[in-house]
Amino acid sequence: MLFPRPVDVFNGPEGLQDVRDKVVAGERLTPEDGLRLFQSRDLNGLGTLADFANRRRNGRRASYILNRYINYSNYCILSCQFCAFSRKKRDNDGFQLTEEQMVAKAREALAIGITELHIVGGLHPSLPFSYYTGFLRALKAVDPRLQLKCFTAVEILHLAWLARKSVRDTLIELKEAGLESLTGGGAEIFRKEVRSRIATGKESADEYLAVHDTWHALGGRSTCTMLYGHVELPEDRIDHLDQLRRQQDRSGGFTGFIPLPYQPDNNRIPVRHGPSGFDQLRTLAVSRLYLDNIDHITAYWVGMGLKMAQIALSHGADDVHGTIVEEHIFHMAGARSPQGTAERDLVRAIREAGRIPVQRNTFYEPVRIWDEADASAPSDPSYEGAPAAEASAGSPIPFALA
Protein backbone atom coordinates (compact mmCIF):
# COMPACT_ATOMS: atom_id res chain seq x y z
CA MET A 1 0.00 0.00 0.00
CA LEU A 2 1.52 3.30 -1.12
CA PHE A 3 0.13 5.41 1.73
CA PRO A 4 -0.64 4.20 5.29
CA ARG A 5 -3.81 6.29 5.18
CA PRO A 6 -5.68 8.29 2.51
CA VAL A 7 -3.98 11.48 1.38
CA ASP A 8 -6.14 14.60 1.61
CA VAL A 9 -5.01 16.98 -1.15
CA PHE A 10 -4.81 20.71 -0.38
CA ASN A 11 -4.93 19.96 3.34
CA GLY A 12 -2.48 22.80 3.95
CA PRO A 13 -2.17 26.52 4.58
CA GLU A 14 -3.22 27.74 1.13
CA GLY A 15 -6.93 27.37 1.77
CA LEU A 16 -7.83 25.53 -1.43
CA GLN A 17 -10.02 22.88 0.13
CA ASP A 18 -13.12 24.64 -1.22
CA VAL A 19 -11.77 24.35 -4.77
CA ARG A 20 -11.04 20.67 -4.18
CA ASP A 21 -14.60 20.16 -2.96
CA LYS A 22 -16.01 21.84 -6.07
CA VAL A 23 -13.98 19.58 -8.36
CA VAL A 24 -15.02 16.45 -6.49
CA ALA A 25 -18.68 17.55 -6.65
CA GLY A 26 -18.39 18.28 -10.38
CA GLU A 27 -19.08 21.99 -9.90
CA ARG A 28 -17.69 24.62 -12.28
CA LEU A 29 -14.73 26.65 -11.08
CA THR A 30 -14.88 30.44 -11.20
CA PRO A 31 -12.13 32.67 -12.63
CA GLU A 32 -11.22 33.51 -9.04
CA ASP A 33 -10.80 29.79 -8.30
CA GLY A 34 -8.60 29.39 -11.36
CA LEU A 35 -6.41 32.31 -10.38
CA ARG A 36 -5.91 30.86 -6.91
CA LEU A 37 -4.83 27.58 -8.51
CA PHE A 38 -2.30 29.39 -10.71
CA GLN A 39 -0.93 31.10 -7.61
CA SER A 40 -0.58 27.80 -5.72
CA ARG A 41 2.85 26.32 -5.07
CA ASP A 42 1.36 22.95 -4.15
CA LEU A 43 2.15 21.16 -7.40
CA ASN A 44 1.49 17.75 -5.86
CA GLY A 45 -1.96 18.83 -4.75
CA LEU A 46 -2.74 20.37 -8.14
CA GLY A 47 -1.50 17.30 -9.99
CA THR A 48 -3.47 14.95 -7.78
CA LEU A 49 -6.69 16.90 -8.23
CA ALA A 50 -6.19 17.32 -11.99
CA ASP A 51 -5.40 13.62 -12.33
CA PHE A 52 -8.63 12.82 -10.52
CA ALA A 53 -10.59 15.10 -12.88
CA ASN A 54 -8.92 13.56 -15.91
CA ARG A 55 -9.41 9.95 -14.82
CA ARG A 56 -13.05 10.59 -14.03
CA ARG A 57 -13.43 11.76 -17.63
CA ASN A 58 -10.98 9.57 -19.57
CA GLY A 59 -10.16 6.67 -17.29
CA ARG A 60 -6.59 5.42 -17.57
CA ARG A 61 -6.30 5.96 -21.30
CA ALA A 62 -3.69 8.27 -22.78
CA SER A 63 -3.64 8.88 -26.51
CA TYR A 64 -1.29 9.73 -29.36
CA ILE A 65 -1.72 10.19 -33.10
CA LEU A 66 0.30 9.10 -36.13
CA ASN A 67 0.61 12.45 -37.86
CA ARG A 68 2.94 14.47 -40.03
CA TYR A 69 3.40 18.23 -40.02
CA ILE A 70 3.65 20.05 -43.33
CA ASN A 71 4.39 23.77 -43.46
CA TYR A 72 3.62 24.90 -46.99
CA SER A 73 5.47 28.22 -46.65
CA ASN A 74 7.03 30.49 -44.05
CA TYR A 75 6.56 33.70 -46.03
CA CYS A 76 4.20 35.93 -44.06
CA ILE A 77 2.84 39.46 -44.29
CA LEU A 78 2.74 39.71 -40.48
CA SER A 79 5.69 40.28 -38.15
CA CYS A 80 4.55 38.84 -34.81
CA GLN A 81 7.11 39.59 -32.11
CA PHE A 82 7.08 36.03 -30.73
CA CYS A 83 7.49 34.28 -34.09
CA ALA A 84 10.81 32.85 -35.27
CA PHE A 85 9.20 31.04 -38.20
CA SER A 86 8.04 33.78 -40.59
CA ARG A 87 10.15 35.26 -43.35
CA LYS A 88 9.81 38.02 -45.95
CA LYS A 89 10.39 37.46 -49.66
CA ARG A 90 13.71 39.31 -49.35
CA ASP A 91 15.04 36.75 -46.85
CA ASN A 92 17.27 34.00 -48.15
CA ASP A 93 15.89 31.27 -45.90
CA GLY A 94 12.23 31.46 -46.84
CA PHE A 95 10.49 28.52 -48.52
CA GLN A 96 7.34 27.66 -50.41
CA LEU A 97 6.25 24.13 -51.29
CA THR A 98 4.66 23.19 -54.57
CA GLU A 99 1.59 20.98 -54.71
CA GLU A 100 3.78 18.18 -56.03
CA GLN A 101 6.16 18.48 -53.07
CA MET A 102 3.27 18.31 -50.62
CA VAL A 103 1.85 15.25 -52.35
CA ALA A 104 5.26 13.58 -52.15
CA LYS A 105 5.37 14.24 -48.39
CA ALA A 106 1.87 12.79 -48.07
CA ARG A 107 2.88 9.61 -49.90
CA GLU A 108 5.93 9.26 -47.67
CA ALA A 109 3.67 9.69 -44.63
CA LEU A 110 1.19 7.06 -45.79
CA ALA A 111 4.01 4.58 -46.28
CA ILE A 112 4.80 4.74 -42.55
CA GLY A 113 1.19 4.58 -41.38
CA ILE A 114 0.41 8.26 -40.86
CA THR A 115 -3.33 9.00 -40.53
CA GLU A 116 -3.29 12.82 -40.29
CA LEU A 117 -1.57 15.68 -42.08
CA HIS A 118 -1.31 18.82 -39.94
CA ILE A 119 -0.82 21.75 -42.34
CA VAL A 120 -0.20 25.41 -41.50
CA GLY A 121 1.89 28.22 -42.91
CA GLY A 122 2.45 31.95 -42.97
CA LEU A 123 0.08 34.49 -44.53
CA HIS A 124 1.67 34.35 -47.95
CA PRO A 125 1.73 37.70 -49.76
CA SER A 126 0.96 36.42 -53.26
CA LEU A 127 -0.35 32.86 -53.44
CA PRO A 128 -3.91 32.69 -54.86
CA PHE A 129 -6.85 31.02 -53.10
CA SER A 130 -6.76 28.27 -55.73
CA TYR A 131 -3.36 27.17 -54.38
CA TYR A 132 -4.96 26.16 -51.09
CA THR A 133 -8.02 24.41 -52.50
CA GLY A 134 -5.74 22.78 -55.03
CA PHE A 135 -3.41 21.17 -52.52
CA LEU A 136 -6.34 20.05 -50.37
CA ARG A 137 -7.87 18.19 -53.33
CA ALA A 138 -4.52 16.77 -54.37
CA LEU A 139 -3.75 15.48 -50.88
CA LYS A 140 -7.20 13.98 -50.48
CA ALA A 141 -6.74 12.22 -53.82
CA VAL A 142 -3.62 10.48 -52.47
CA ASP A 143 -5.86 8.55 -50.05
CA PRO A 144 -9.36 9.65 -48.99
CA ARG A 145 -8.77 8.16 -45.53
CA LEU A 146 -5.97 10.65 -44.87
CA GLN A 147 -7.37 13.25 -42.44
CA LEU A 148 -6.49 16.85 -43.26
CA LYS A 149 -6.17 19.16 -40.25
CA CYS A 150 -5.23 22.52 -41.68
CA PHE A 151 -5.03 26.27 -41.11
CA THR A 152 -5.16 28.53 -38.10
CA ALA A 153 -7.94 31.06 -37.63
CA VAL A 154 -5.84 33.92 -38.97
CA GLU A 155 -5.04 31.86 -42.08
CA ILE A 156 -8.78 31.39 -42.63
CA LEU A 157 -9.29 35.17 -42.39
CA HIS A 158 -6.47 35.62 -44.91
CA LEU A 159 -7.97 33.04 -47.26
CA ALA A 160 -11.40 34.69 -47.00
CA TRP A 161 -9.78 37.95 -48.04
CA LEU A 162 -8.07 36.20 -50.98
CA ALA A 163 -11.31 34.53 -52.05
CA ARG A 164 -13.32 37.74 -51.54
CA LYS A 165 -15.88 35.68 -49.66
CA SER A 166 -17.29 35.53 -46.16
CA VAL A 167 -15.55 33.34 -43.61
CA ARG A 168 -18.50 30.97 -43.73
CA ASP A 169 -18.44 30.60 -47.52
CA THR A 170 -14.65 30.25 -47.47
CA LEU A 171 -14.85 27.44 -44.93
CA ILE A 172 -17.56 25.70 -46.96
CA GLU A 173 -15.36 25.77 -50.06
CA LEU A 174 -12.33 24.52 -48.13
CA LYS A 175 -14.43 21.75 -46.60
CA GLU A 176 -15.63 20.69 -50.05
CA ALA A 177 -11.99 20.56 -51.15
CA GLY A 178 -11.06 18.19 -48.30
CA LEU A 179 -10.54 20.19 -45.10
CA GLU A 180 -11.66 18.09 -42.11
CA SER A 181 -10.47 19.97 -39.05
CA LEU A 182 -9.08 23.38 -38.15
CA THR A 183 -5.94 23.60 -36.07
CA GLY A 184 -6.02 25.53 -32.80
CA GLY A 185 -2.88 27.56 -33.44
CA GLY A 186 -2.80 31.32 -33.35
CA ALA A 187 -4.76 31.79 -30.15
CA GLU A 188 -1.63 32.97 -28.30
CA ILE A 189 -3.07 35.03 -25.38
CA PHE A 190 -6.48 36.60 -25.91
CA ARG A 191 -6.18 39.70 -23.70
CA LYS A 192 -5.68 42.68 -26.01
CA GLU A 193 -2.92 44.33 -23.98
CA VAL A 194 -0.77 41.19 -24.08
CA ARG A 195 -1.66 40.29 -27.65
CA SER A 196 -0.52 43.68 -28.90
CA ARG A 197 2.88 43.13 -27.24
CA ILE A 198 3.54 39.69 -28.76
CA ALA A 199 1.54 39.61 -32.01
CA THR A 200 0.93 43.10 -33.35
CA GLY A 201 -1.47 43.05 -36.30
CA LYS A 202 -2.71 39.53 -35.73
CA GLU A 203 -6.42 38.74 -35.53
CA SER A 204 -8.20 39.65 -32.31
CA ALA A 205 -9.53 37.18 -29.76
CA ASP A 206 -13.06 37.82 -31.03
CA GLU A 207 -11.99 37.09 -34.60
CA TYR A 208 -10.20 33.88 -33.58
CA LEU A 209 -13.25 32.64 -31.70
CA ALA A 210 -15.63 33.72 -34.48
CA VAL A 211 -13.75 31.62 -37.05
CA HIS A 212 -13.98 28.54 -34.83
CA ASP A 213 -17.61 29.31 -33.99
CA THR A 214 -18.46 29.44 -37.70
CA TRP A 215 -16.60 26.20 -38.37
CA HIS A 216 -18.39 24.48 -35.50
CA ALA A 217 -21.76 25.72 -36.81
CA LEU A 218 -20.91 23.97 -40.09
CA GLY A 219 -20.43 20.71 -38.21
CA GLY A 220 -16.65 20.98 -38.06
CA ARG A 221 -14.36 20.26 -35.12
CA SER A 222 -11.13 21.91 -34.06
CA THR A 223 -8.59 22.14 -31.28
CA CYS A 224 -7.68 25.25 -29.28
CA THR A 225 -4.43 26.47 -27.76
CA MET A 226 -2.74 28.97 -25.45
CA LEU A 227 0.83 30.25 -25.79
CA TYR A 228 2.09 30.86 -22.25
CA GLY A 229 5.26 31.67 -20.36
CA HIS A 230 6.26 35.01 -21.93
CA VAL A 231 4.92 38.41 -20.76
CA GLU A 232 1.43 37.36 -19.64
CA LEU A 233 0.22 37.21 -16.05
CA PRO A 234 -1.83 34.46 -14.35
CA GLU A 235 -4.87 36.72 -14.75
CA ASP A 236 -4.31 36.73 -18.52
CA ARG A 237 -4.14 32.93 -18.62
CA ILE A 238 -7.41 32.58 -16.72
CA ASP A 239 -9.08 35.14 -18.98
CA HIS A 240 -7.90 33.09 -21.97
CA LEU A 241 -9.15 29.79 -20.54
CA ASP A 242 -12.44 31.41 -19.57
CA GLN A 243 -13.04 32.70 -23.10
CA LEU A 244 -12.34 29.24 -24.52
CA ARG A 245 -14.70 27.66 -22.00
CA ARG A 246 -17.47 30.12 -22.88
CA GLN A 247 -16.94 29.46 -26.59
CA GLN A 248 -17.18 25.73 -25.95
CA ASP A 249 -20.43 26.31 -24.06
CA ARG A 250 -21.79 28.05 -27.16
CA SER A 251 -20.57 25.81 -29.97
CA GLY A 252 -19.21 22.58 -28.46
CA GLY A 253 -16.75 21.97 -31.29
CA PHE A 254 -13.39 21.92 -29.52
CA THR A 255 -12.04 18.38 -29.27
CA GLY A 256 -8.98 19.18 -27.22
CA PHE A 257 -6.89 21.94 -25.65
CA ILE A 258 -3.13 22.24 -26.18
CA PRO A 259 -1.14 24.58 -23.91
CA LEU A 260 1.98 25.65 -25.83
CA PRO A 261 5.05 26.58 -23.75
CA TYR A 262 6.78 29.65 -25.16
CA GLN A 263 10.16 29.11 -26.83
CA PRO A 264 12.37 32.19 -26.26
CA ASP A 265 15.00 32.06 -29.02
CA ASN A 266 15.17 34.03 -32.29
CA ASN A 267 12.35 36.47 -31.68
CA ARG A 268 11.71 40.00 -30.42
CA ILE A 269 10.12 39.37 -27.02
CA PRO A 270 12.60 40.32 -24.26
CA VAL A 271 12.20 37.08 -22.31
CA ARG A 272 15.28 34.93 -21.71
CA HIS A 273 13.69 31.70 -20.56
CA GLY A 274 10.56 29.77 -21.38
CA PRO A 275 8.27 28.44 -18.65
CA SER A 276 9.83 26.19 -16.03
CA GLY A 277 8.91 22.53 -15.66
CA PHE A 278 6.93 23.48 -12.56
CA ASP A 279 4.94 26.06 -14.52
CA GLN A 280 4.33 23.67 -17.42
CA LEU A 281 2.84 21.03 -15.13
CA ARG A 282 0.86 23.61 -13.16
CA THR A 283 -0.58 25.08 -16.37
CA LEU A 284 -1.67 21.67 -17.62
CA ALA A 285 -3.26 20.87 -14.25
CA VAL A 286 -5.16 24.16 -14.02
CA SER A 287 -6.29 23.78 -17.63
CA ARG A 288 -7.75 20.35 -16.91
CA LEU A 289 -9.56 21.63 -13.84
CA TYR A 290 -10.89 24.80 -15.45
CA LEU A 291 -11.87 23.53 -18.91
CA ASP A 292 -14.64 21.26 -17.66
CA ASN A 293 -16.35 21.14 -21.07
CA ILE A 294 -13.34 20.13 -23.20
CA ASP A 295 -12.65 16.40 -23.07
CA HIS A 296 -8.95 16.24 -23.80
CA ILE A 297 -5.81 18.07 -22.68
CA THR A 298 -2.65 17.52 -24.72
CA ALA A 299 0.88 17.64 -23.34
CA TYR A 300 2.73 18.92 -26.41
CA TRP A 301 5.98 16.97 -26.26
CA VAL A 302 7.66 19.13 -28.91
CA GLY A 303 7.60 22.09 -26.54
CA MET A 304 7.98 20.16 -23.28
CA GLY A 305 10.15 17.21 -24.19
CA LEU A 306 8.77 13.67 -24.11
CA LYS A 307 9.85 12.98 -20.52
CA MET A 308 8.04 16.06 -19.23
CA ALA A 309 4.99 15.17 -21.32
CA GLN A 310 5.09 11.73 -19.71
CA ILE A 311 4.97 13.33 -16.24
CA ALA A 312 2.11 15.53 -17.43
CA LEU A 313 -0.03 12.40 -17.75
CA SER A 314 -0.21 12.45 -13.95
CA HIS A 315 -1.07 16.17 -13.90
CA GLY A 316 -4.27 16.27 -15.93
CA ALA A 317 -3.13 15.55 -19.49
CA ASP A 318 -4.48 12.53 -21.38
CA ASP A 319 -2.74 12.98 -24.73
CA VAL A 320 0.90 13.39 -25.82
CA HIS A 321 0.22 14.53 -29.41
CA GLY A 322 1.88 12.66 -32.25
CA THR A 323 4.77 11.44 -34.32
CA ILE A 324 4.96 14.78 -36.22
CA VAL A 325 7.96 13.68 -38.39
CA GLU A 326 8.99 17.23 -39.38
CA GLU A 327 8.43 20.31 -37.18
CA HIS A 328 9.68 23.81 -37.98
CA ILE A 329 7.82 26.43 -35.94
CA PHE A 330 8.95 25.45 -32.43
CA HIS A 331 12.41 24.38 -33.52
CA MET A 332 13.11 27.67 -35.29
CA ALA A 333 12.23 29.27 -31.94
CA GLY A 334 14.77 27.16 -30.09
CA ALA A 335 13.04 23.89 -29.15
CA ARG A 336 15.64 21.18 -28.52
CA SER A 337 13.30 18.21 -28.81
CA PRO A 338 13.66 15.85 -31.78
CA GLN A 339 11.97 16.75 -35.07
CA GLY A 340 9.69 13.74 -34.69
CA THR A 341 9.32 10.61 -32.62
CA ALA A 342 8.48 6.98 -33.28
CA GLU A 343 5.18 5.41 -32.32
CA ARG A 344 6.97 2.87 -30.15
CA ASP A 345 8.47 5.69 -28.06
CA LEU A 346 5.05 7.27 -27.51
CA VAL A 347 3.56 3.90 -26.53
CA ARG A 348 6.45 3.21 -24.17
CA ALA A 349 6.21 6.64 -22.54
CA ILE A 350 2.49 6.22 -21.94
CA ARG A 351 2.92 2.73 -20.52
CA GLU A 352 5.73 3.83 -18.21
CA ALA A 353 3.38 6.50 -16.85
CA GLY A 354 0.93 3.74 -15.87
CA ARG A 355 -1.60 4.58 -18.58
CA ILE A 356 -3.21 2.57 -21.38
CA PRO A 357 -1.85 3.71 -24.76
CA VAL A 358 -4.49 4.56 -27.36
CA GLN A 359 -3.76 5.46 -30.95
CA ARG A 360 -6.34 8.10 -31.89
CA ASN A 361 -7.48 9.90 -35.00
CA THR A 362 -7.81 13.64 -35.63
CA PHE A 363 -10.99 13.83 -33.52
CA TYR A 364 -9.51 11.98 -30.51
CA GLU A 365 -11.47 8.85 -31.42
CA PRO A 366 -9.71 5.51 -30.68
CA VAL A 367 -8.06 3.69 -33.59
CA ARG A 368 -6.11 1.11 -31.56
CA ILE A 369 -6.11 0.41 -27.83
CA TRP A 370 -3.10 -1.35 -26.35
CA ASP A 371 -4.02 -3.79 -23.60
CA GLU A 372 -1.90 -3.81 -20.45
CA ALA A 373 -1.31 -7.54 -20.81
CA ASP A 374 0.08 -7.10 -24.32
CA ALA A 375 3.82 -6.75 -23.86
CA SER A 376 4.37 -6.07 -27.54
CA ALA A 377 4.87 -2.60 -28.93
CA PRO A 378 5.33 -1.31 -32.45
CA SER A 379 8.96 -2.01 -33.28
CA ASP A 380 8.96 -0.19 -36.57
CA PRO A 381 6.66 2.13 -38.55
CA SER A 382 5.16 -0.76 -40.50
CA TYR A 383 3.88 -2.54 -37.39
CA GLU A 384 0.60 -4.31 -38.18
CA GLY A 385 -0.38 -5.76 -34.82
CA ALA A 386 -4.10 -6.30 -34.21
CA PRO A 387 -5.87 -3.88 -31.86
CA ALA A 388 -5.87 -5.13 -28.31
CA ALA A 389 -8.97 -5.54 -26.24
CA GLU A 390 -10.07 -2.38 -24.48
CA ALA A 391 -9.16 -2.19 -20.83
CA SER A 392 -11.52 -0.91 -18.22
CA ALA A 393 -11.75 2.87 -18.28
CA GLY A 394 -12.27 3.19 -14.56
CA SER A 395 -9.79 2.55 -11.79
CA PRO A 396 -9.64 3.28 -8.07
CA ILE A 397 -8.14 6.65 -7.14
CA PRO A 398 -5.42 5.90 -4.54
CA PHE A 399 -6.12 8.97 -2.42
CA ALA A 400 -8.98 10.69 -0.67
CA LEU A 401 -10.44 13.81 -2.26
CA ALA A 402 -13.17 14.53 0.24
127-167 pLDDT, tens digit each: 999 999 999 999 999 999 999 999 999 999 999 999 999 99
Whether pLDDT at 73 is above 90: no
229-276 pLDDT, tens digit each: 999 999 999 999 999 999 999 999 999 999 999 977 666 677 778 899
| Number of folded domains that form the chain | 1
What is residue 87's predicted lDDT score, i.e. its pLDDT? 67
| Structural domain includes residue 330 | yes
Whether pLDDT at 302 is above 70: yes
- Output the domain CATH number for residue 107: 3.20.20.70
Cα 21–27–30 angle (5° rounding)? Answer: 95
| Structural domain includes residue 6 | no
Confidence of residue 370 (pLDDT cuts 50, 70, 90): very high
From the list 9, 8, 46, the residue with the least C-alpha distance to 29 is 46
Whether pLDDT at 91 is above 90: no
| Structural domain includes residue 397 | no
Confidence of residue 376 (pLDDT cuts 50, 70, 90): low
Q: Where in the sequence is the domain holding 80, given as residue range(s)?
A: 48-369
Cα 126–129–132 angle (5° rounding)? Answer: 105
Rounded CA separation 260/157 (Å): 22
DSSP assignment of 161-180 equals HHHTS-HHHHHHHHHHHT--
Mean pLDDT of the chain: 85
170-201 pLDDT, tens digit each: 999 999 999 999 999 999 999 999 998 888 87
pTM: 0.86
| Structural domain includes residue 393 | no
| Structural domain includes residue 182 | yes
